[in-house]
Amino acid sequence: MSRQSTLVFRERGKTNTQNVKNLFLNYLKKPSIFKNKEVLTESFFPDEILHRDNELMQISSILAPALRGYKPNNLFIYGGVGTGKTVCVKLILKQLEEIVKKNKLNVKPVYVNCKLKKVADTEYRLLAQLLFEIGIVVPDTGLPTDVLYRKFFNEVEKQKKIIIIALDEIDALVRKIGDDFLYNFTRINTELEKGKISFIGITNNLNFCNELDARVKSSLSEEEIIFHPYNATQLRDILKQRVDKAFNKGVVSDAVINKCAALAAQEHGDARRALDLLRVAGEIAERYNSDVVTEEHVDIAEKKIDLDGVTESIRKLPRQSQAVLNALLKLTNNSNKPVTTIEVFNVYRDICLKNNLRVLTTRRVSDLLNELTTLGIINTRVVSKGRYGRTREISLNIDSDVRENVEKILSLNFN
Ligand SMILES: Nc1ncnc2c1ncn2[C@@H]1O[C@H](COP(=O)(O)OP(=O)(O)O)[C@@H](O)[C@H]1O
Ligand SMILES: [Mg+2]
């Protein structure tokens, strides 16, 4: 909300010191919109996971044999973002852990979030984390990884345990360290006699499995479960479940909940997005000094979330991709009219020369354009030019107000 003008006011005859003080005092005086905002964030664990009974039962019954000392089949879980994969697996592993403790069983569930840098940035870190989970502490660096593997397997064997390792966002891990580690685990697993290791791989990337080494793929996906997107009714239930805990009474109407649910359902059926919409709408209502959240606040929230999302992903792009995008921005100059790859390339080359950047081949630039398409930042369309063959038309896929922001970011990075 960089251009939020409603808050910037100055009462006549008052110093800005007084204005600032009054803003704080008024804020304190007003009844709060939120009761507990945290309820709408990822860190909150819902009492009840809605509309996922089948998935919960399926996963639990795949893992249950561990309780009798059998190695559960490896399991692969995939589905779009915000479809409840993480929350379901965490609930199941927590229940499993409780039962294991109570009955003193030799089973150890381990959950690893592969997106966390400190946990799984390198093969070494991953192994160190897994060792830590089974009670072995190794130095932060310095040992050869095969020593770590051996330590891990010896310990599993010694403890005679069934270790169930859930690797959440496993695609992020494989992108960083390759899929050799999975191969190593599956291979050595077959040599274990007393201990056993099972994997649960979780990913948002539906194509991930196909990118894996064939041996790893077949071993990892002995079982597969897909999490489908939520529809608007299901999202509404998920929001309703939290509304009373998150907001004060009378602040959020059914119409607002329905709107958040409908918008998120249209997008990807993503529960995270529905919760974000409601939270951000609440924050906006608060900033506008409103007593209630309105549907208009939800509209503004949607724009803000998109804007933040696009600017964030553009900030994170490698410099070469930013240069390609910058070329496209310059070419399309305030319109979304399509241009060709060659036009983009020519402007891109000028930008590189001006900025001391290596000029990549047209082929590589073409790859970068594909990546930008996958990220949803641009659109590409192949059009037939009759007997002159086919050409690609490229256009920007961002709103004009987002465009302004993107131009600002890129103008800071390039001459
Ligand atoms: N069925 C559900 N019932 C209640 N809350 C849910 C449900 N599914 C997802 N959520 C909530 O939505 C957010 C995203 O869910 P998450 O499990 O992280 O999705 P994924 O791992 O598939 O991307 C979390 O805050 C989670 O608590
Ligand atoms: Mg997740």
- Residue 387: pLDDT above 80? no
- Residue 8: pLDDT above 60? no
The mean pLDDT of 259-272, rounded to a whole number, is 95
Pocket flag, ligand 1, residue 292 (CB < 6 Å): no
Pocket flag, ligand 1, residue 176 (CB < 6 Å): no
Tokens of 360: 């990549």
Count Cα atoms within 13 angstroms, Cβ side, for 292: 12
pLDDT in tens, 185-194: 888 788 888 9
The CA distance from 235 to 265, in Å, is 7
What pLDDT score was predicted for residue 9? 59
The mean pLDDT of 270-290, rounded to a whole number, is 95
The CA distance from 74 to 179, in Å, is 16
Residue 10: pLDDT band (50, 70, 90) is low
| Per-chain mean pLDDT for the chain | 90
The CA distance from 62 to 71, in Å, is 10
The CA distance from 268 to 58, in Å, is 23
Give the atom of ligand 1 at the shortest distance from the alpha carbon of 52.
1
Note the pTM of the prediction, 2 decimals.
0.82
Tokens 């089948």 belong to: 54
What pLDDT score was predicted for residue 269? 94
How far does residue 78's CA lie from ligand 2's centre (Å)? 10
What pLDDT score was predicted for residue 5? 43
| Cβ neighbours of 122 (radius 10 Å) | 14
Pocket flag, ligand 1, residue 86 (CB < 6 Å): yes
Pocket flag, ligand 1, residue 238 (CB < 6 Å): yes
The mean pLDDT of 136-142, rounded to a whole number, is 90
> Among 54-58, 296-300, 387-391, where is mean pLDDT lowest?
387-391
Tokens 């970011």 belong to: 409
Residue 105: pLDDT band (50, 70, 90) is very high
- Residue 1: pLDDT above 60? no
Helix (H) or strand (E) holding 396: strand 390-396
- Testing ligand 1's pocket by substitution, the residue of 272, 273, 278 carrying the most ligand atoms inside 8 A of its CB is 272
Pocket flag, ligand 1, residue 272 (CB < 6 Å): yes
How far does residue 196's CA lie from ligand 1's centre (Å)? 30
Pocket flag, ligand 1, residue 309 (CB < 6 Å): no
Give the atom of ligand 1 at the shortest distance from the alpha carbon of 241.
4
Residue 23: pLDDT band (50, 70, 90) is confident
C-alpha pair distances (Å), 324 with each of 91, 372, 411: 44, 9, 13
How far does residue 207's CA lie from ligand 1's centre (Å)? 21
Pocket flag, ligand 1, residue 151 (CB < 6 Å): no
Asked whether the beta carbons of 78 and 210 are under 8 A apart, the reply is: no
What pLDDT score was predicted for residue 376? 82
Q: What is the DSSP letter of 211?
A: G
* Domains (range + CATH), the chain: 29-35+231-313 (1.10.8.60), 53-227 (3.40.50.300), 317-413 (1.10.10.10)
The CA distance from 306 to 44, in Å, is 23
Q: Cα 76 vs. chain centroid, distance in angstroms?
A: 18
The mean pLDDT of 38-46, rounded to a whole number, is 94
Give the atom of ligand 1 at the shortest distance from the alpha carbon of 202.
21
Which amino acid belongs to residue 144? P
Burial of 265 (0-12, 13-18, 19+ CB in 10 A): buried
The CA distance from 318 to 346, in Å, is 19
Tokens of 11: 């009462």
More confident residue, 200 or 310: 200
What pLDDT score was predicted for residue 7? 52
Asked whether the beta carbons of 69 and 106 are under 8 A apart, the reply is: yes
How far does residue 87's CA lie from ligand 1's centre (Å)? 5
Closest CA to 347 of 368, 370, 318, 326: 326
Tokens of 167: 């690797």
The CA distance from 212 to 61, in Å, is 26
CA dihedral of 118, 122, 124, 126, whole degrees rounded to 10: 60
Is residue 200 classed as helix, strand or coil in its secondary structure? strand
What pLDDT score was predicted for residue 399? 79
The CA distance from 29 to 321, in Å, is 49
The segment with the largest mean pLDDT, out of 141-155, 189-203, 245-259, is 245-259
Q: Which ligand places an atom closest to the C-alpha of 87?
A: 1
The CA distance from 114 to 89, in Å, is 14
pLDDT in tens, 226-254: 999 999 999 999 999 999 999 999 999 99
More confident residue, 391 or 162: 162
The CA distance from 373 to 23, in Å, is 44
C-alpha pair distances (Å), 284 with each of 289, 291, 300: 9, 11, 8
Asked whether the beta carbons of 163 and 141 are under 8 A apart, the reply is: no
